[in-house]
């Protein structure tokens, strides 16, 4: 619970301190931009999109190896979604 609050606070700080950078890197589409400060979801989206770039900056360090091992493959995620689809249909 506490880590979730800390993570949310970090997203809010990034949104408030660097709104122009976040909007510049945002690759999504919003029908209406309601304010100059992006939401936490938009900041998170930008971080996810830029993660591989930042990860490559570490090179082949130990942290890079750990993250690469923990990263879920698209095939794994597709299989999980298919499995959940079967479970929901059977209920």
d(Cα 21, Cα 42) in Å, to the nearest integer?
12
85 in a structural domain? yes
Residues 33 and 63 in one domain: no
29 in a structural domain? yes
User: Which pLDDT score, from 0 to 100, does residue 17 have?
Assistant: 94
The CA-atom distances, in angstroms, between 60 and each of 3, 56, 68, 91 are: 28, 8, 10, 46
Cβ–Cβ < 8 Å for 43, 28: no
Convert 25-61 to b/e letters by CB count within 10 Å (16 or more is b): bbeeeeeeeeeeebeeebbbbbeeeeeeeeeeeeeee
Residues 38 and 62 in one domain: no
Q: Based on the structure, what is the number of domains in the chain?
A: 2
Q: What is the token pair recorded at 24?
A: 């510049």
Q: What is the pTM of this model?
A: 0.59
Residues 33 and 64 in one domain: no
71 in a structural domain? yes
User: Which pLDDT score, from 0 to 100, does residue 90 have?
Assistant: 53
Residues 29 and 6 in one domain: yes
For residue 32, the enclosing domain spans 1-43
Q: What is the token pair recorded at 60?
A: 């082949």
1 in a structural domain? yes
pLDDT tens-digit profile, the chain (91 residues): 688 888 889 999 999 999 999 988 888 877 766 778 898 889 988 888 887 777 666 667 787 777 777 766 655 556 665 666 655 555 5
50 in a structural domain? no
């Amino acid at each position: 619970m506490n880590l979730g609050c800390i993570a949310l606070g970090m997203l809010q700080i990034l949104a408030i301190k660097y709104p122009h950078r976040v909007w510049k890197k945002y690759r999504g589409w919003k029908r209406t931009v309601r304010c100059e400060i992006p939401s936490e979801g938009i900041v998170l989206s930008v971080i996810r999109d830029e993660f591989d770039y930042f990860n490559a900056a570490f090179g082949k360090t130990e942290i890079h190896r750990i993250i690469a091992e923990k990263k879920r493959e698209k095939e794994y995620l597709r299989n999980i979604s298919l499995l959940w689809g079967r479970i929901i249909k059977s209920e």
